[in-house]
Amino acid sequence: MQIDQIIGCDIMEALEAIMGRRSIRKYTDKKIPEEIITTLLKAGMNAPSAHNTQPWEFIVLDNHDDMIKVTDYHPYSKMLEQASHAIIVMGDNEIQSLDFGIQDCSAVTENILIAATALGLGAVWLGLVDTAIDKTRKVFNIPSHVTPLSIISLGYPVENKPPRENYNPKKVHRNTW
């Protein structure tokens, strides 16, 4: 029996958004409406978190000059020059330890990426580590107890990439290595 015969249409659409999610780096000049940004944030905030602490905080960037500041220190962020919006995903270390906060905010980031795909948007996950964390904190005036963990670039795509088939049965182990 085929998977589409087993599951319903809504589930199939969810799987298509998951499997079809790709990093899109080229955008049109069309602005994303605020209600769509709110929908993306709602999708992010519905991610699981350790002990349901929900330690996330967000900065929504819709000012081009602010997005360009990131390109001065993040070597893989040039797509922000064309982006309609960006979302900085952060973890509040007073609510949750950074160890769990990284996992919680990664789930948030992935939810936003999948929701963006489902809504016909292009998006890229820009990871923040080491000096990029410090520079993001400084540029956007983020308090010391909050750690910026990712920046999501968003826009209406100029490019459309087909889904990839990344399944590799050699990476699957049963019950033990």
Domains in the chain (CATH in brackets) are 23-158 (3.40.109.10)
Q: What is the mean pLDDT of residues 145-166?
A: 94
> Exposed (0-12), middle (13-18) or buried (19+): which is 165, by Cβ within 10 Å?
exposed
> Which pLDDT does position 3 carry in this prediction?
46
Q: What is the pLDDT of residues 26-65, one digit of tens each?
A: 999 999 999 999 999 999 999 999 999 999 999 999 999 9
Say how many Å lie between the first and final Cα of the chain, rounded. 30
Residues 6+ apart with CB under 8 A from 123: 23, 24, 112, 113, 116, 117, 152, 153, 154, 155
Please report how many Cα atoms fall inside a 13 Å half-sphere around the Cα of residue 177, on the Cβ side.
0
Please tell me the distance from the alpha carbon of residue 87 to that of residue 109, in angstroms, as a whole number. 9
Q: What is the pLDDT of residues 89-146, one digit of tens each?
A: 999 999 999 899 999 999 999 999 999 999 999 999 999 999 999 999 999 999 999 9
Give every strand in the sheet of 122-127, ordered side by side.
56-61, 85-92, 146-155, 122-127
| Beta carbons of 121 and 39 less than 8 angstroms apart | no
pTM over 0.75: yes
Helix (DSSP H) and strand (DSSP E) numbers for the chain: 6, 4
